[in-house]
Structure 1
Amino acid sequence: MAKKLVKEITARDADFAQWYTDVCRKAELMDYSDAKGFIIYRPYGFALWEGIKGYLDGEFKKTGHQNVYMPLVIPESLFLKEAEHVEGFAPETAIITVGGNETLAERLIIRPTSETLFCNHYSRIITSYRDLPKKYNQWCSVVRWEKTTRPFLRGSEFLWQEGHTVHKDEEEARKEALDILDAYDRLGKELLAIPFIIGQKTEKEKFAGAVDTYSIEALMHDGKALQSGTTHYLGTGFAEAFNISFQDKDGKVKNPHQTSWGVSTRLIGAVIMVHGDDSGLVLPPYLAPVQVVIIPIQQKKPGVLEACEEIKKSIKKQGVRVQIDDSDKSPGWKFSESEMKGIPLRIEIGPRDLEKNQCVLAKRYNGEKTTHDISIIDESIPPILKTIHEEMYEKALMNVIDNTRITNDYEEFKEIIKEKQGYVKMMWCGDQACEEKVKADTQATSRCMPFNQEAVGKVCPICGKPAKHLVYWAKAY
């Protein structure tokens, strides 16, 4: 019975897409709803989002950001105010045309993002330089009518945070966009154990209506990249379209500069695909809803459950999230279940262990088992969790390093993308036609132009013209 859970998961290297779906279901992260493309976040899956939210919310508030909430719907006339923005989102919009039994006089767009709502609000409350900066963020869901969906990665509705800020000048706004990018990068290092490639998006890949877009990119086990978050310097375009202006200290009326930025439940998908294995989830310790599970062996024997309770109390005092699995399932089944759910550390204790005043610790990410003295187990757990986090991050980083290649030859580039996947660092002339050729030839896209621009070649291997940028290319979700 213990192996049944694992048998229900497709092997990663046999069918990665099916493995991913199996893990989402069997680890009880989500369920499908009756509306296509809309998922149910089960408690364990939602707890992962709460962990991400808690980390970022704290980071945002440290830097003076305030949480707000904007309406779910946008009047169509308001949505149409910024032409480039509308063109980018129009194919994905869901529209309300009937309210109650009456046809609406004006159609309502269910928000795909909230730039227009924030801008309209800002136009009413900003009049002076004294009103700036405005640094707002909201936690909400958005709807984008996707044709192809996959849990957490791409859905018709997903949860996210979206920040929208207004600044007196370009320098301050650009700094905001890059500061938030740094916060997202720290999220990967400190909570998710995911190393991100960070940089600027090309003109073709940037956000509709932005001057510049920056992104964090993660590499999955199957060699595909995942855009995991973006920040945007919006310039004054939205301010001009929505008549946002302020009187500066010099008495002149000016348009402010804006940013927007966000990450979503797509990060849950990244955690699954970066760290998971053929036994299920592998969760980094600081994100895991349950960091330690205690499994009693022969729990009906005298003193076993009592010892488990004492260990739980002592570990909990260290600020560790810990549970006892005292269900009537077999120990083997409990082991498989804890592995499926990716619990970072398992403590096993039975009558023989009690006789020796010891317990067995099993690390989820590598299966390593060690024996520890019960009397000092509470002191041992926090440093062990820290080590697990660091080693998971290093493992993920090595995967990025091992699967990043450099080429100055377009034929070699196509071969790498076809046979090996991963990231390919290659120079680019800056012409969108070359980007489109890469996608047509290989299905790979430009992921970002890293801030550290190495000159790995002088010409664009795609067309032979002088090279302007180093780009990370990859197939992506």
Structure 2
Amino acid sequence: MAFKKDDNFGEWYSEVVVNSEIIEYHDISGCYILRPWAMEIWELLKEFFDAEIKKLKLKSYYFPLFVTENVVQKKKDHFEGFAPEVAWVTKTGNSELEAPIAIRPTSETAMYPYFAKWIRSHRNLPLRCNQWCSVVRWECSNPIPLIRSREFLWQEGLTVFATKEESDEEVLRILELYRRIYEEFLAVPVSKGRKSEMEKFAGGLYTASVEAFIPNTGRGIQAATSNCLGQNFAKKFEIFFEDENDPAQKKKEKNKRSLVCQNSWAYTTRSIGVMVMTHGDDKGLVLPPRVAPIQVIVIPDPLEDADTTAINEACETIVCTLNQAGIRADLDTRENYSLEWKYSHWEMKGVPLRIEIDLKDLANKQVRVVRRDNGAKVDILSTDLVEHVKVLLDGIQDSLFQTAKQKRDACIEVVYTWDEFTAALNDKKLILAPWCDEEEVEKDVRARTEGNLGSAKTLCAPFDQPDLPEELCALLLESPPRPGRFGAAAID
């Protein structure tokens, strides 16, 4: 590694994601090739999330990535929130298109004309759609692999209900699944809360989110969102249903219809980038076992010119035994690489455990196991290997989360005055401050804090709130905060 995490975080991150074979840079700025190591991590996350949402009776769909201009015009206030990022197709070959076609930055406008077609009565509700796809957001300033990409993979759920109560319930249920992805799989601590009016999903009623924080940079990262859209989109796209609970329907009156309530929610391959930033070290990637494509790498260590047959056979047996026990293990018997190179290679890729076997280990019917997260080594009898490996993997998963949480929590600072706020921001803290959630105040905070590090940005009003003195005013002393309401903020 040419760069140290604590010395030059940006260059360190770029080096890690390339050298660990997570991504490769593409010749179009802001676009990246996701290599198998990244795709396997994404597939492990997808396996968990897909199983959970299928329990909620979500159905899989795939909608085209193109959106016509007339559909875009129908929901201007939504698309204006994405306007700087929308890519347009204007030509085919050498011919200009009669009307430009947008490439979806998100799929609400692509799906909702068809929801209006499919939904007629309460019997068609709830409608629950999910798709795994890519979207394009042509963010031109400072793209960062996986964190801020112009094209990225995501999961996108769009659901329709008869009542807002159903929508509200789902918003929180999905948000909890996103928390589990980050905390239980990626071992990244996150805060659940509600986005400010300025930061909420464009055209939506409110947005709930999980927010991550990177102590090295002092920057917050939106990890996933779950949006209640209310009836805003239903009005524009004329999505109605005959409501069995409407008194007019009970009297068999015609043309008495109710608007549906809608949600949308998503998380992206940004999750992988957040994990890399959180756990990586100066040797490279550090993977939590639950998302590691290979949880255990087995490397034989024969003496020079010694017969490798017995050791290789023992290693193959170990890999087979671990795989049969549900542990993702692999064997590296490549002869054209040195032992030291192999160790460094698999450390760079972040494999949680390394098993080494030499002739002495073979004679003693034991193996040496090395942890990636802390370098600890332990000798284990071959007969006890499966049980011990499972314990070690669970220990690594928990240790990574607890370590990350301790680092994150050490950066949290509760402030009550403007001077305290700016001092904490300069110290790269995750700030909890009294908050009124007024857009003009938020704009003023951003303008007044703009500097070398970047301006302050609200992350969310956390659901888990500290006590707020009743007599205290909002941060700028211009308006009172909502009762008991703190907002979380960090460098943008």
- Specify the alignment match of 1:113 in structure 2: 106
- Specify the alignment match of 2:399 in structure 1: 391
Alignment of 1:87-106 (within 5 A): 87-106=80-99
CA contact (8 A) 1:346 1:363 kept: yes
Paired residue type of 1:242 = F
Paired residue type of 1:429 = C
Q: Distance in 1 between matches of 2:475 and 2:197?
A: 19
Alignment of 1:207-356 (within 5 A): 207-222=201-216, 223-249=218-244, 250=246, 251=249, 252-298=256-302, 300-302=306-308, 303-328=310-335, 329-356=337-364
CA contact (8 A) 1:434 1:463 kept: no
- Specify the alignment match of 1:423 in structure 2: 430
Q: Distance in 1 between matches of 2:478 and 2:76?
A: 35
- Specify the alignment match of 2:6 in structure 1: 13
CA contact (8 A) 1:301 1:351 kept: no
Alignment of 1:98-177 (within 5 A): 98-148=91-141, 149-177=143-171
SS at match of 1:348: strand
Paired residue type of 2:342 = K
Deviation at 1:464, TM superposition (A): 5.1
Q: Which segment drifts farther, 455-464 or 216-225?
A: 455-464
Q: Distance in 2 between matches of 1:189 and 1:154?
A: 21
SS at match of 2:138: coil
For residues 373-393 of structure 1, the C-alpha deviation after alignment (integer angstroms, 9 at most, x for no partner) is 112212221222111111111
Q: Distance in 2 between matches of 1:307 and 1:452?
A: 52
SS at match of 1:28: coil
Paired residue type of 2:481 = A
- C-alpha RMSD of matched pairs (Å): 1.3
Q: Select which of 372, 375, 398 maps to 2:380.
A: 372
Identify unmatched segments of 5+ residues in structure 2: 250-255, 450-454
- Specify the alignment match of 1:363 in structure 2: 371
Paired residue type of 2:23 = M
Paired residue type of 1:307 = A
Q: Distance in 1 between matches of 2:115 and 2:43?
A: 29
Q: Select which of 455, 462, 468 maps to 1:450.
A: 462
- Specify the alignment match of 1:402 in structure 2: 410
Q: Which segment drifts farther, 107-116 or 433-442?
A: 433-442
Q: Distance in 1 between matches of 2:215 and 2:377?
A: 25
Paired residue type of 1:365 = D
Q: Does 1:475 align with 2:491?
A: yes
CA contact (8 A) 1:201 1:213 kept: yes
Q: Distance in 2 between matches of 1:161 and 1:461?
A: 36
Percent pairwise identity: 38
Deviation at 1:430, TM superposition (A): 2.7
For residues 231-274 of structure 1, the C-alpha deviation after alignment (integer angstroms, 9 at most, x for no partner) is 10001011110011010113241010000010001001101001
Q: Distance in 2 between matches of 1:430 and 1:91?
A: 25
Q: Distance in 2 between matches of 1:324 and 1:411?
A: 57
Return closer, same or farther for 1:72/1:430 CA change in 2, 3 Å cut-off: closer
Paired residue type of 1:40 = I
For residues 367-414 of structure 1, the C-alpha deviation after alignment (integer angstroms, 9 at most, x for no partner) is 111111112212221222111111111111111211111111211211
Deviation at 1:226, TM superposition (A): 0.9
Paired residue type of 1:166 = V
Paired residue type of 1:167 = F
CA contact (8 A) 2:59 2:129 kept: yes
- Specify the alignment match of 1:202 in structure 2: 196
Q: Does 1:71 align with 2:38?
A: no
Q: Select which of 445, 453, 475 maps to 1:461.
A: 475
TM-score of the two chains, using structure 1 as the length reference: 0.96
Paired residue type of 1:236 = Q
Paired residue type of 1:17 = G
For residues 418-440 of structure 1, the C-alpha deviation after alignment (integer angstroms, 9 at most, x for no partner) is 12x13111102332233223222
TM-score of the two chains, using structure 2 as the length reference: 0.93
Q: Distance in 1 between matches of 2:214 and 2:240?
A: 44
Q: Which segment drifts farther, 433-442 or 349-358?
A: 433-442
Return closer, same or farther for 1:472/1:126 CA change in 2, 3 Å cut-off: same
Q: Distance in 2 between matches of 1:289 and 1:397?
A: 24
Q: Which segment drifts farther, 110-119 or 214-223?
A: 214-223
How many corresponding residue pairs?
468
Q: Distance in 1 between matches of 2:307 and 2:407?
A: 45
Paired residue type of 2:426 = K
For residues 435-464 of structure 1, the C-alpha deviation after alignment (integer angstroms, 9 at most, x for no partner) is 223222331111100123333342223225
Paired residue type of 2:279 = H
Deviation at 1:194, TM superposition (A): 1.2
SS at match of 1:150: coil
Paired residue type of 2:285 = L
SS at match of 2:102: strand
Deviation at 1:74, TM superposition (A): 0.4
Q: Distance in 2 between matches of 1:123 and 1:429?
A: 37
Q: Distance in 2 between matches of 1:410 and 1:301?
A: 71
CA contact (8 A) 1:408 1:456 kept: no
Deviation at 1:12, TM superposition (A): 0.6
SS at match of 1:80: helix
- Specify the alignment match of 1:190 in structure 2: 184
Deviation at 1:106, TM superposition (A): 1.8
CA contact (8 A) 2:227 2:263 kept: yes
Deviation at 1:37, TM superposition (A): 1.6
Return closer, same or farther for 1:343/1:434 CA change in 2, 3 Å cut-off: same
CA contact (8 A) 2:104 2:110 kept: no
